[in-house]
Amino acid sequence: MRRRQFLLALGVSMLAACASTPPAPPRGHFVHRELELEGRTYRYQVFVPLARQQQEGPLPIVLFLHGSGERGDDGHSQTESGLGPYLREHATQFPALVVLPQVPEDEQWMGVNARMALATLDAASTEFGADPARTYLTGMSMGGYGTWEIALMVPQRFAALVPICGALHSARADEDQLYVSEVAGVRDRYAAVAHRLRQVPVWMFHGAQDDLVPPADDRRLYKAARLAGANMRYSEYPDGNHNAWDATYADARMWEWMFAQRLKGAPAG
């Protein structure tokens, strides 16, 4: 009898404890998706913000391109560095959809993988109701190269670009496959990019001490942009090395600037 009373009292106390625990606040979250393209299956993630769960109309959407260390086919590694950790930390406040595709091992953001990234953006925009006038592109390291690659393919698609510690071609002999194919072979690739993207708002970020992707390329590109009258900003962290993404994605001014940009002529979402 005493054992029965004890168990009954224990159950009541556990129910009371559960009832007194406040529910977790609603948060944005990641969802896993797959895409079939040109005979290959790609796994990608979409960050769905709290605003979408509350049905607040068309939302901004950001296409994020990861670096070389996050390549693979697990569909998850691309969320573990760069923008992904920032989204988890700010999952109750971040206001936009984010698409995070993944490049297979030993490949780059060009060719079929560039087309794949755009296809994931299309799919997520349709599924979650993104605003075509507020579509943005950002990437880090190899994804910085990819930001230029994809923007040059469809310069009319994006309201703003934020390439981080990227370049147009690699200064390292062991990375001769890392380059922007859209301007490969062009005599003055910097002038070509500045001209072709002169109407697109761009904010580049780089660490002055970067020894993996030296900032010289971004400096030359910014100089060419100024000569061309392109809408381009450039920020360099004086003491920063290759990881310029954590500081950039933590910068509220960058997000305020990005979300203030709208694609001219795009239909309202």
**Cα distance between residue 134 and residue 261, in whole Å:** 7
39 occurs within a structural domain: yes
Residue 170 has what pLDDT?
Answer: 84
**Which range (87-96, 138-147, 167-176) has the least confidence?**
167-176
Work out the burial of residue 148: count CB atoms within 10 Å of its CB; fewer than 13 is exposed, 13-18 middle, 19 or more buried.
buried
Residue 201 has what pLDDT?
Answer: 98
Distances (CA, A) of 185 to 39, 128, 149, 151: 29, 39, 14, 18
10 occurs within a structural domain: no
Q: Which residues contact 136 (CB under 8 A, 6 or more apart)?
A: 60, 61, 62, 63, 96, 158, 159, 160, 161, 162, 258, 259, 261
Question: Is the alpha carbon torsion for 210, 214, 219, 222 positive or negative?
Answer: negative
1 occurs within a structural domain: no
8 occurs within a structural domain: no
Instruction: Determine the average pLDDT of the residues in 100-112.
Output: 97
Instruction: Determine the average pLDDT of the residues in 99-108.
Output: 97
Whole domain around residue 202: which residue ranges? 27-260
Of the candidates 164, 154, 139, 152, the one whose C-alpha atom is nearest the C-alpha of residue 215 is: 164
Give the three-class secondary structure for 86: helix
17 occurs within a structural domain: no
**Cα distance between residue 263 and residue 268, in whole Å:** 10
Residue 6 has what pLDDT?
Answer: 46
Instruction: Determine the average pLDDT of the residues in 205-230.
Output: 97
**Cα distance between residue 73 and residue 132, in whole Å:** 28
CATH code assigned at 174: 3.40.50.1820
158 occurs within a structural domain: yes
Residue 24 has what pLDDT?
Answer: 60
82 occurs within a structural domain: yes
Give the three-class secondary structure for 2: helix
**Cα distance between residue 198 and residue 230, in whole Å:** 4
Does position 129 have pLDDT exceeding 80, yes or no? yes
Cα-to-chain-centroid distance, residue 176: 24
Tens of pLDDT, residues 54-74? 666 799 999 999 999 999 999
Higher per-residue pLDDT: 57 or 23: 57
Q: What's the DSSP call for residue 26?
A: P
DSSP string covering 126-161 = HHHTEEEEEEEEEEETHHHHHHHHHHHH-TTS-SEE
Residue 38 has what pLDDT?
Answer: 96
**Cα distance between residue 14 and residue 76, in whole Å:** 36
Q: What's the DSSP call for residue 103?
A: P
Total domain count, the chain:
1
Tens of pLDDT, residues 241-257? 999 999 999 999 999 99
Residue 171 has what pLDDT?
Answer: 73
The answer to whether 244 touches 208, Cβ cutoff 8 Å, is no
Q: Which amino acid is at 163?
A: P
pTM of this structure:
0.89
- Supply the mean pLDDT for the chain: 91
11 occurs within a structural domain: no
